[in-house]
Amino acid sequence: MTRDEAGFLASYDPRAYDPVAVTVDVVALTIRDGALSVLLVRRAHPPFADAWALPGGFVVAGGADGGGEDLPDAAVRELAEETGLAAADAALDRLHLEQLGTYGAPGRDPRMRVVSVAYLAFAPALPDPAAGGDAADAAWTPVAALGLTAAGAQPPGTTRPLAFDHARILADGLERARAKLEYTPLATAFCAAEFTIPELRAVYEAVWGEELHAGNFHRKVLSVPGFVEGTGGTSDAPGRRGGPRPRLYRAGDARLLHPALLRPSREEEVR
């Protein structure tokens, strides 16, 4: 650093600017009882007290000398804090986390200018959360129960309206999830370490909201290089309604599916 740069740094006063708060919000998805579900918390404090919202909160900034937390770390911390899931929990180990987008329209938070970085998480079936932090309650909620429109709005009279612009964020997260299942092997992130092809198909059906042809799906999954690899084992199939024991598979080493596994209902094809 030159002397000029050092001098500039010393005279720099960040508080001369209007303040902006940075938060993270997490769209955590899982499959519970065959239904795609999102983790929601009930807000204990205003604004939107008692309303349901995505788990999230302020990022620890740290001073000019460092000490702040990185954004993905903040997302995992908020997820753990507000749900009682220990950050060291084995379940959180298998978590897939990716950045979804940033929402910063003026007025989206009545307190002040807040820019929120949203993260999208895929998790295998997790235990019921325990409320913690600023949350009065926490629960996995089937997304179908929220009455979300594709445009990211909830019609008036919805039983569980979301705080802030969280309906918009959730709608974006759902669309991202649906798209990612097409060309990445991330459906395996919703499964346990070992899974069967029918279980994997159930994930696709829950996320896409439509039934898939069992036979063609099976052949397709096995034909995509690196999607899954067999373990040699067989499921012990508790509580099924008949049929042979399906074989067990692990996630393969592919990071992209090629050829992709495209959604059937593409009549819309947004024009």
Partner DNA sequence: TAAATAGTGTCTTTGAGACACTATTTC
Partner DNA sequence: GAAATAGTGTCTCAAAGACACTATTTA
Closest approach, Cβ 105 to DNA, in A, equals 38
CA angle 157, 162, 168 (to 5 degrees): 105
Q: Which does 19 bind (CB under 5 to 8 A by kind): its own copies, DNA, none?
A: its own copies
* Contact between residue 23 and residue 53 where contact means Cβ atoms under 8 Å apart: no
Q: Which does 58 bind (CB under 5 to 8 A by kind): DNA, its own copies, none?
A: its own copies
One-letter amino acid for residue 225 of the chain: P
Question: Is there binding between residue 213 and DNA (CB under 7 A)?
Answer: yes
Euclidean distance between the first and the last CA atom of the chain, given in angstroms as a whole number: 52
Site for its own copies in 110-129 (CB under 8 A): 110-113, 115, 117
**166-183 and 197-208 helices, crossing angle to 10°:** 140
The residue among 83, 71, 100, 72 whose CA lies nearest residue 40 is: 83
Q: Which does 215 bind (CB under 5 to 8 A by kind): DNA, its own copies, none?
A: DNA
Give me the residues paired with residue 57 across strands: 24
**Cβ proximity to DNA, 130 vs 260, nearer residue:** 260
Helix (H, G, I), strand (E, B), or coil: what is residue 143? helix
d(CA 35, CA 209) in angstroms, rounded, equals: 9
Question: Is there binding between residue 239 and its own copies (CB under 8 A)?
Answer: no
Binding site for its own copies (CB under 8 A): 1-2, 4-5, 8-9, 12, 14-15, 17-22, 45-47, 49, 58-64, 66-71, 99, 101-102, 104-107, 110-113, 115, 117, 225-226, 253-256, 258, 266, 269-271
Binding site for DNA (CB under 7 A): 196-198, 213-216, 218-220, 222-223, 237, 239-247, 259-262, 264
